[in-house]
A and B are shown apart, each in its own frame.
Chain A
Amino acid sequence: MKIKFRLNGVVTEVEVEPHETLLNVLRDKLKVKSVKYGCGVGECGSCTVLLNGKPVTSCLVLAAKVDGYEVVTPDYIAQTHVGKIIIDAMLEEGAIQCGYCTPGFLTTIYAAITKGIRNIEDVKRALIGNICRCTGYINILRAVKKILSETK
């Protein structure tokens, strides 16, 4: 079946199978490689994208459902003003080790900041679904503090 949706603002049409997930279609058919496959069962947050503005794990979203939706991926967020602030802060604080979870963290932090979440504890709660298997959380939280102070 053919689906039509907005991918990072651009109307995109693509042929999908009912058993394909949004993650499969983004990576394999649309070549959006900033979206990472981690656990595949919604527990790690590496595949986080914004679906109609809300962070979701794209490994659990059927591609067929996305017809008519708006999808935003980490590579697009990286180009935005807020995205750049997040990335700079993460680099400066060493909030990146192997880097595999980073696009997911970027996306969820971006969603939290643009939603107006201003409190470090609330951002922490928002990030429960993003796992860093290098366990670099201290640096990530330091980066979040910096981001909060720079996005007032």
Chain B
Amino acid sequence: MLAINSVNTYRIPQKFEYYKPRDLREALELLNSIEDAKIVAGGTDLVVDLKYRRVVPKALIDVSELSELRFIRTDSNYIEIGSAVTMQELVESEIVKKSLPLLVEAVESIGSWQIRNLATIGGNICNASPAADSVPPLLTYDAELELASLNGPRMVSIEKFFTGPKKTVLERREILRSIKVPLSQQKFGWSYAKIGRTSFDLAKVSVAVLLRAEDGIVSEVRIALGSVAPTPVRARNTEKSITGLSLEKATVRASELVVSEIAPIDDVRSTAWYRSRVAKILVRDAIWKAYERFLQAGDK
């Protein structure tokens, strides 16, 4: 990351075309006909990249107002979120608050009010930052992504979507249309734990946990981490190993095991050494917090 004042960030120092298609089909057609077109929604990452010339697109296709990408709906099995729903709309949605509290907790920690009013859930996913706050929760919820193209839609599980930092399986002519999350009949406790320089900053380490327990024994747990590997990761071995253990043992064991499932690096925000140590602590804390919430949910 460049220091903020090493570049004049007042203007975007490059030219490109701009399109605001009326529907998804037109957006896909534009994407097909223009080489080097980029999709823009909130622009909170893209406009910064344009200012620093990290990307040099021929055209931008603005999908932020497409009604086909701007909805939240639910039936008894799924909740589906359009990719152009803003982060603020997400955290204010009663349906999402009720069904996906872990996602809401994570998204509330993103940037500022101003940024959440622009940034979209689809943008957060497609930019594929290892630090994307919405992703660890969506990993634990086993979310599926619907990718639209002129050849028709295809579904990809979010766990298979990311291939590296800033890299995904999204093809050049595809647009993420929606995020589908299967609704569980079971009640889970949840927790999103994150360490950053400030809450405003990107995470150095983040951990998302969903948990159910019976008589103090972990009966089901899902753990995902951000910023500690080239992509956000599900800690499946840790999940498996601590299921059936008492909460006391599970937290200790998870702390020991989680390090083997991550591959942190040194960068401007933190070091691999620090990230490993913090991941151990955050996993422990997040499991306890999720357990507390699980018990509270049971009381109601």
- Do the two shown chains form a genuine complex with each other? yes
In the complex, what residue of chain A is closest to B115 when comparing beta carbons? A42
CA gap between A83 and B39 in the complex, in Å: 37
Contact of B199 among A39, A51, A128 (CB under 8 A): A128
* Contact (Cβ within 8 A) B114 A57: yes
Per the 8 Å Cβ criterion, residues 13-68 of A in contact with B are 17-21, 23-24, 37, 39-43, 45, 48, 51, 54-57, 59-62, 64-65, 67
Q: Is B47's beta carbon under 8 Å from chain A?
A: yes
**Shortest CB–CB separation between residue A146 and chain B, in angstroms?**
21
Q: Is A108's beta carbon under 8 Å from chain B?
A: yes
Number of B residues contacting the other chain (C-beta, 8 Å)?
Answer: 33
* Contact (Cβ within 8 A) A45 B114: yes
Contact of B111 among A17, A61, A108, A129 (CB under 8 A): A129
Contact flag A42-B48 (CB < 8 Å), given A18-B18, A57-B118, A129-B115: yes
Q: Is A126's beta carbon under 8 Å from chain B?
A: yes
Q: Is A98's beta carbon under 8 Å from chain B?
A: no
Q: Is B10's beta carbon under 8 Å from chain A?
A: yes
* Contact (Cβ within 8 A) A19 B115: no
Contact flag A41-B117 (CB < 8 Å), given A18-B17, A19-B14: no
**Shortest CB–CB separation between residue B106 and chain A, in angstroms?**
15
Query: Which chain A residues lie closer than 8 Å to B16 at the CB level?
Result: 18-19
**Shortest CB–CB separation between residue A41 and chain B, in angstroms?**
5
Q: Is A10's beta carbon under 8 Å from chain B?
A: no
* Contact (Cβ within 8 A) A21 B12: yes
**Shortest CB–CB separation between residue B117 and chain A, in angstroms?**
4
Q: Is B268's beta carbon under 8 Å from chain A?
A: no
Number of A residues contacting the other chain (C-beta, 8 Å)?
Answer: 35
Contact of B117 among A55, A59, A65 (CB under 8 A): A55
**Shortest CB–CB separation between residue A55 and chain B, in angstroms?**
5
Count chain A CB atoms within 10 A of each CB in B15, B44, B112 and give the residue with the most.
B112
Contact of A62 among B15, B47, B48, B199 (CB under 8 A): B47
Count chain A CB atoms within 10 A of each CB in B11, B17, B42, B64 and give the residue with the most.
B11
Residues of A within 8 A of B (CB): 1, 17-21, 23-24, 37, 39-43, 45, 48, 51, 54-57, 59-62, 64-65, 67, 108, 111, 125-126, 128-130
A-B pairs, top 4 by smallest CB distance, nearest first, are A129-B112, A40-B9, A18-B18, A19-B12
